[in-house]
Structure 1
Amino acid sequence: MTRTFGSERTKVMARAASIAIETVAGTQWPVRLAEALRDLDATWQESAAVCADVAWQARAAGNSALVLLAPGDVTDPCPGPGTVVSRTYRHLYLSTLRYDFRCHSIESLVNQVPLSVLNADPYSWALYAFARLGQSRSDGLAVMERVLATAADHPKTVHVLLHGVWLGGLLPGRADALLALVDRLPDGGDGDPIAQFRKASALRALGRYHHAHAAVERALEFLPPGHLAVHTDLVREHALITAAYNLTQLAHQRRKPDPQ
């Protein structure tokens, strides 16, 4: 097929995602999305962007890709024209596992995908890194660096890595890694509520409470209406920052010598 470029290409991809989201109540939405992306000859970047959003919407609608697809759709890639289809299924399935925090399942499935397939799909590598990072396994940091070297700061890929580092609470240098990843996003994550949420978490861990408060308040301002679960996470982070700040102030007061 003939590719379109620039904003027109973006509109075409957005339309494919919109059609899939409109049909997530049915059983054929993964097939239809895969066929649409195949017909558009979608790149891995385009597939990642579309599948991450559609997988989230389908999960929220109670018709998860995990119900309609099988692990074999991840581990048995099709050659030739089927490459885009199998990649779509892989992105949908692994993204949904990510949203469910099922790190062991992601790791197990990706380990069964041929290396040649993974090397052509940095987004799937990023999901593998998420699985390792989310378990606080420091070798995930090396996988993350390899992904960053090949993905050219693709926003959805960076968000997968951000999610993994955020989840991996025992990772060495976690807070600094979160801040470095946020800086890789367009405009340094300004205007991105999830990026600001991750940034707030990092700043809280570093004891920079005023900056953390500012970040989570920006996240609350930028969050679109209707994202109730994310809003709950942001409010919880706001409370954690306040509690950490208050505890620090209390400890500081207790260290002051009593007046003689």
Structure 2
Amino acid sequence: MAHLYLSALRFDFRCPTLQRLVEHLAETARQPLDCYIRALYAFALLGQSRPEGLTVMDEVLAKAEEHAKPLHVLLHGLWLGQDLDQGAERLLALCSRPVLATGTDPVVLFRVAGALRRLGRYDEGLGAIDRAIGCLPPGDTSVHADSVRERSLLCAARDLHQHRSTTRTSSRVPS
């Protein structure tokens, strides 16, 4: 039951509530928390851009090995935590783990695209999001909408970057 309830909080982006509940579980549980709940705790911290989330993430990674579910939870937290130091780089490193680096998981490709956008690697990000959209089954409208939104963000960020580069170049007066 804890997995289901905490996962629901994850998908509702209720990071502070999720954090408090896991901390309460940790205080009252008669046994150590399992790897999935620890991953959800890391998600709650990462999603709030709290640096201690990276420490918890590393602890989970040491135990999770190549179990996809906890790794996806960690990816989600890194994706949500926009202000984490080295967050985009850590996300890309996590995506290179064998269980995630299949090139056919639209969620992983979606997360990769977001990390590449944060790093200013817009064309690579567009390639990743186009692959993600191509991997989606017909009728998966919720994930498709998120992917199209990420594609729009990538295009807007790239266009803004190009506009600023052009503006700086054209505003320079030759001596």
Tell me, yes or no, whether TM beats 0.5.
yes
Residue in 2 that maps onto 1:176: 89
Letter in structure 2 aligned against 1:230: V
Cα 1:155–1:191 change in 2 (3 A) is same
Q: Report matched runs for 1:1-260 at 5 Å.
A: 89-113=1-25, 114=29, 116-118=31-33, 121-186=34-99, 188-256=101-169, 257-258=172-173
Per the alignment, in what secondary structure is the counterpart of residue 139 of structure 2?
coil
Deviation at 1:117, TM superposition (A): 3.3
RMSD: 1.5
Q: Deviations over 1:132-173 (max 9, x none)?
A: 100110100000000000111211110000000111111111
Deviation at 1:231, TM superposition (A): 0.9
Q: Which runs of 5+ in 2 are unaligned?
A: none
Per the alignment, in what secondary structure is the counterpart of residue 32 of structure 2?
helix
Is the Cα–Cα contact under 8 Å of residues 189 and 195 in structure 1 kept in the other structure? no
**Which of the pair has more CA radius of gyration?**
1
CA distance in 2, matches of 1:189, 1:206: 22
CA distance in 2, matches of 1:181, 1:164: 12
Provide TM-score, normalisation by structure 1. Answer: 0.63
Is the Cα–Cα contact under 8 Å of residues 67 and 99 in structure 2 kept in the other structure? no
CA distance in 1, matches of 2:53, 2:173: 48
CA distance in 2, matches of 1:187, 1:140: 21
Q: Which runs of 5+ in 1 are unaligned?
A: 1-88
Relative contact order: is structure 1 or structure 2 higher (C-alpha 8 Å, sep ≥ 6)? 2
Cα 1:204–1:164 change in 2 (3 A) is same
CA distance in 2, matches of 1:135, 1:189: 29
Number of residues of Structure 1 aligned to a counterpart in Structure 2? 170
